[in-house]
Structures are given as C-alpha cells and as structure tokens.
Amino acid sequence: MEELLVVDAQGHVHSACLHWDGFPRRLWELLSAAGYLQPPVYDGHEFVEDGVRRCSVTMVIPQHPLNGWEPIVTQMVGHYLLDTWELTAMRAMTTFCSLRPLEVVLTAFGLFPAPDPADPLWLDRMAHVDVVATLDPVGALRTTAMCLDGLYRLHTYQSYAVAQLVDHAQALHLAVQLRDGQLQEASTELESRATLIAQLHGQVHELQDTVSDRDATINFLEDQFHDLQLEMDEAQGQLHAIQHAQDALHAPPDEMQVDEEDEPQEIEGFSEMDSEDQAPQPAPVEVHTPAASEASVNM
C-alpha cells in the first residue's frame, strides 16, 4: 500500500489526498471515469509570510494516456494544507469541466459550477439536468451530495483558518497597541531629553564663554608676568653690578701692589741677599786736617 503522505528534504508534502472523503476524491472519480489511470499528486508546503501562516499547493493532472490531452496545472494558496488541498481539487474540477465539456455532459459532474456563470456550455449542461437525472438518478444524487459534503468540509477548514487568522490579528493588534504606548512613552522621554539637551547646550555655551574670558585673562596675566620677569632679571643684573662694585670697594689691596709699595727699590748692583751675605763694615773715621777744619768753619 502506498504511503498517504511523503515529505521530501525541502519540507514539501506529497499526497494523492484520497485518505478522506472530499473534493480530491470527487476529482479522482471524475478523472477515472474519463480514462485516467493514476490519481494526481498534490505538492504542498506551509510557510510564514509577513507574520501570517500560508500554504501553497500545486497539483498537475497528467497528460491523458489515450486522448493526448495536455496536462492541467492548478496552483492555489491557502492557510493550511487541509483547506488548500480541498480548494485546489475544487478548482481543478472546475477547470476540467470547462476544458472537457463533452466528457461530463451526461454526468453529474457536468452540473458542477463553472468559473463563468454565463458560460454557454455550462448553461447547456444545466438545460439537460432532466436527462442526467433520467440516465442515472442515484448517481446524480450521490455525486451532488458528495460535492456538497466536500464544500462543507472546505467551508469548515476555511472557517478554522479564518478563526486562526482572527486570533493572530487580535494578537498583532494588542502588540501594536502596546508598541504604540511604548512609542508614546519613548516620544515623551525624547522630548524631555531634547529639552534637557537644549539646556545643557546653553550651559555649555556659557561655560565656553567663561573659559574664553579666563583664557584671555590668563594670557594677559602671562604677558604681565613675562614683563615683570624681564624687569626682575634687569633689576637683578643691576643689583649684581652694584654688589660687585661694593665688593670691589671693601676688598683688601692687592698683595702685589703692597709689595711694590713697601719694599725699597733695589740698588743696581746690590740685592737684599747680597746685603745679608756681606759682613758689616766699620764706619770710616774722618781725618780732620787743618785745612778741612778751616773750611768747615768758614762755611
């Protein structure tokens, strides 16, 4: 027995959808009556788009083995696999009845609603309801009841999906309201912070002005200090010059000058050492002569 559901590596679900009594089973009854050998396979996958649960199903009615009819591809988007399977099978039945009117004209499936209510072929089939009822009254009634049952199942699944979407929408609405409240609080806080920032900017400007004034004062004082330093250096230079002059006035005389002034001049040919080494000589005795005595008296 073939598996009811097959899930591939990409997460797609493959199934013939014949394990319950719905539109997929009605479609296979129609296709088998038209000569198809295998039921079509539904390829579906669920996903989330913009926070909403979605489901996409693709189903291909293969090429007819005898008549060579082209494949019929049907793709529908719903909310869950159950409702999207039913919706895809119902759309495929409508498409098949529109493309193959002669195959369904004398069957209860020929009475299935057409995409266009003004379709002349569908209106012709509706005109022969009595013929269909005469040829197979039990089958016509059974097919009609089964289609109504499939429609009920589709309506039930869609109602469930809509209820889920309503709950999701309500949750999103509450989340949006909560976000709005948070944004309002954040906006109020931003306004208060903007006011505080403006005040701080004003204080910063005031402090910058104060700093500029202080910098100007500091520069002025530095200039004055520099001038005072120059004057102090000049005064210290003058003070050092005066101190040097006073020290020169109170200093003892130079020893060399003292020796030159105190020591007697050396007599040429004699020195202090010579006088020290030479023995003292007795003073010469003057000889008084009469002539000398007379001369001295006359003077």
- Model confidence at 68, pLDDT cuts 50, 70, 90, reads confident
Q: Is the pLDDT of residue 220 over 80?
A: yes
pLDDT band at 204 (very low <50, low <70, confident <90, very high): very high
In the block, which residue shows the tokens 């289609």? Answer: 147
Average pLDDT over residues 90-97: 90
Which amino acid, residue 136?
D
Task: Mention every residue, 6+ apart, whose C-beta is less than 8 A from residue 147.
Answer: 23, 26, 112
The per-residue pLDDT of the chain, averaged, comes to 80
Residue 128 in this model has a pLDDT that exceeds 60: yes
The pLDDT score that the predictor gives to residue 282 is 53
pLDDT tens figures, 272-283: 544 454 545 555
Q: CA 13, CA 48: separation in Å to the nearest integer?
A: 16
Cβ atoms within 10 Å, residue 233: 10
